[in-house]
A and B are shown apart, each in its own frame.
Chain A
Amino acid sequence: MRADERCERLLAWYDLLQANREDLATIMTLEQGKPMPDARGEVEYGASFVRWFAEEGKRTYGETIPSHIPNASLGTIKEPVGIAALITPWNFPLAMITRKAAAALAAGCPVIVKPANETPFSALALAELAERAGIPKGIFNVVLGEPAEVSKILCAEPRIKALSFTGSTRVGRLLMEQSAGTVKRLSLELGGNAPFIVGPDMDPKEAAYAAVDAKFQTSGQDCLAANRILVHESIHDEFVEQFAERMAALTVGNGMESEVDLGPLIHRQAVEKASAIVDDAIARGATLVAGDQSQAPGENFFMPVMLTQVTPDMQVWREENFAPVAGITAYSDDDEVIELANDTEYGLAAYVYTHDIRRIWKLMRALEYGMVSVNSVKMTGPPVPFGGVKQSGLGREGGATGIDEYLETKYYCLGALGSVSGS
């Protein structure tokens, strides 16, 4: 199938995703818990990658290389890497599949999707729509099973040439080990522990409202969630007041109901983990400013929590909490906040809120993160390279380079061509 034909099938898939947005959002909310408006947004977001890569697949150009060999012509062509296994998480059960699969399919690679067992039905609905879109049989596959067993088989299988995974750093390390035997192409989007830095020049209310948005989307179950909120000491107290006010306005409930901002956590174990992180922080000296769990509307719900005076020895600082738990601390100068922000094994995303261009540039260059967003909570989308450094992963998804994760560069040397002017 030619690139333009693959583009047509992918665009047909995109159209079907859009046409079935409401049903896809319903399935997602029932299995993942996020509020319906967020689920609709994820369908839009997920579909946008299909459209982006449909077009990108037509532009996988090779290059011509000026020859250093007499009478030879040199160049490169791009070839699909081969069958790709895609292991995806439950927090974004549709978009994390399309972000990977659309790139792989556009490149010409068949895919085997292994969705999270908590959220299989979004993946299976995608398969139904892929079939309707005319994506040939055997090109888009969805399997389910015991995660550790299935992953081990996929990693060890030599016919599978690439593995893309979104999930925890712990599992990412394991998949790297298991893939070593077959030297697979790996794309790993792993954990995050994002700092949210607020400069002394900021309006505390503007920054606090942005921080609430950056922390509590998907009930904090987001690798981009602002886990560690670092506020300049000169505006710390006012920021905390504004953050608490904004947080109090959030409604927690069943995502199928209207006017709900935060849905449940994915399961009871997630609630227990969140509770343990809060207890650990309080035991180590943090102050619980807000977050009364007696108000939780069900056993899988966790009311948003704000902790102040958090320190690097606390779990809330060191771990990706994947819960609506915000930890806030004060800092005194830029050098200190850089050191605090980089004090983590993770390096996915960082937020900076300030209007001082010198501070922006200094922080943007000094922060050890794959993505830095300045004065904006929204940073992701099809045109940008999503990915982290340090133990947040390998490779980039989306953007002009996203399709390269599924392409090999083949160099060719055409020798003995005779004397050609300019060669």
Chain B
Amino acid sequence: MSALTAIHAITLAERLEDPRLFRQYAYIDGKWTHGHREEAVTNPATGKFWAISLCWMPARSLLPLMPPSPPSFTGVRCVPMSAASAC
């Protein structure tokens, strides 16, 4: 996390009763996953950026990051991403 990002995260964290609700990473296969690019998110009321999303990633890298073996949510047709193509 860059210093600038950290400052904004702290600013927001002070506004929240539960600071852990402010997440900046992608959530993939149960893991908070860092992307390749930081992207500023603007507060429309002020026109200024207020936080940075750290989860941008090249599109082609998304699918390999998808759940390699997610637990079935039903027992049927919840095929692991890595195995689905074999079906």
Measured CB to CB, the nearest residue on chain A to B21 is A125
CB distance from A269 to the nearest CB of B (A): 11
B-contact 0/1 string along A252-295, CB 8 Å cutoff: 01111000000111111000000000000000000000000000
Q: Is the CB of B39 within 8 A of A144?
A: yes
Q: Is the CB of B43 within 8 A of A33?
A: yes
Q: Is the CB of B78 within 8 A of A144?
A: no
Knowing A1-B71, A33-B44, A144-B56 are in contact, say whether A82-B79 is a contact too (CB < 8 A). yes
C-alpha gap A375/B11 in the complex (Å): 45
C-alpha gap A2/B10 in the complex (Å): 41
Knowing A141-B29, A145-B57 are in contact, say whether A127-B23 is a contact too (CB < 8 A). yes
Q: Is the CB of B22 within 8 A of A27?
A: yes
Q: Is the CB of A124 within 8 A of B25?
A: yes
Q: Is the CB of A118 within 8 A of B41?
A: yes
Q: Does chain B have a CB within 8 A of A336? A: no
CB distance from A174 to the nearest CB of B (A): 15
Measured CB to CB, the nearest residue on chain B to A141 is B28
- What class of interface size applies to chain A in its complex with B? 35 or more
Segment from A109-117, A232-240, A313-321, A344-352 that makes contact with B: A109-117
Residues from chain B with Cβ under 8 Å of A298 in the complex:
45-47
Q: Does chain B have a CB within 8 A of A83? A: yes
Residues from chain B with Cβ under 8 Å of A26 in the complex:
15-16
Residues from chain A with Cβ under 8 Å of B79 in the complex:
82-83, 159
Q: Is the CB of B71 within 8 A of A254?
A: no
Residues from chain A with Cβ under 8 Å of B67 in the complex:
110, 137-139, 141
Q: Is the CB of B22 within 8 A of A121?
A: yes
Taking a contact as CB atoms closer than 8 A, the residue among A33, A128, A143 that contacts B62 in the complex is A143
Taking a contact as CB atoms closer than 8 A, the residue among A125, A264, A267 that contacts B22 in the complex is A125
B-contact 0/1 string along A1-24, CB 8 Å cutoff: 111001000000000000010111
Within 8 A of A (CB), among B38-87: 39, 41-47, 50-51, 53, 55-60, 62-63, 66-67, 69-79, 81, 84-85
Q: Is the CB of A136 within 8 A of B18?
A: no
CB distance from B76 to the nearest CB of A (A): 6
Taking a contact as CB atoms closer than 8 A, the residue among A6, A105, A117, A127 that contacts B53 in the complex is A117
Within 8 A of B (CB), among A303-353: none
Measured CB to CB, the nearest residue on chain A to B57 is A145
Within 8 A of B (CB), among A131-166: 131, 136-146, 149-150, 152-154, 157-159
Taking a contact as CB atoms closer than 8 A, the residue among A24, A144, A263 that contacts B57 in the complex is A144
Knowing A80-B74, A141-B29 are in contact, say whether A124-B41 is a contact too (CB < 8 A). no
Q: Does chain B have a CB within 8 A of A44? A: no
Taking a contact as CB atoms closer than 8 A, the residue among B31, B44, B59 that contacts A300 in the complex is B44
Q: Is the CB of B28 within 8 A of A143?
A: yes
Measured CB to CB, the nearest residue on chain B to A131 is B30
Q: Is the CB of B78 within 8 A of A109?
A: yes
Additional A-B contacts beyond A121-B24, A121-B51 (6; CB < 8 A): A31-B43, A107-B74, A141-B26, A141-B27, A141-B29, A264-B45
Q: Which residues of B contact A (CB under 8 A)?
A: 12, 15-18, 20-31, 35, 39, 41-47, 50-51, 53, 55-60, 62-63, 66-67, 69-79, 81, 84-85
18 A-B pairs in the complex with CB atoms less than 8 angstroms apart: A23-B18, A30-B51, A33-B43, A33-B45, A80-B77, A120-B53, A124-B23, A127-B27, A128-B20, A136-B71, A137-B31, A138-B29, A139-B67, A139-B70, A141-B26, A144-B26, A150-B59, A158-B84
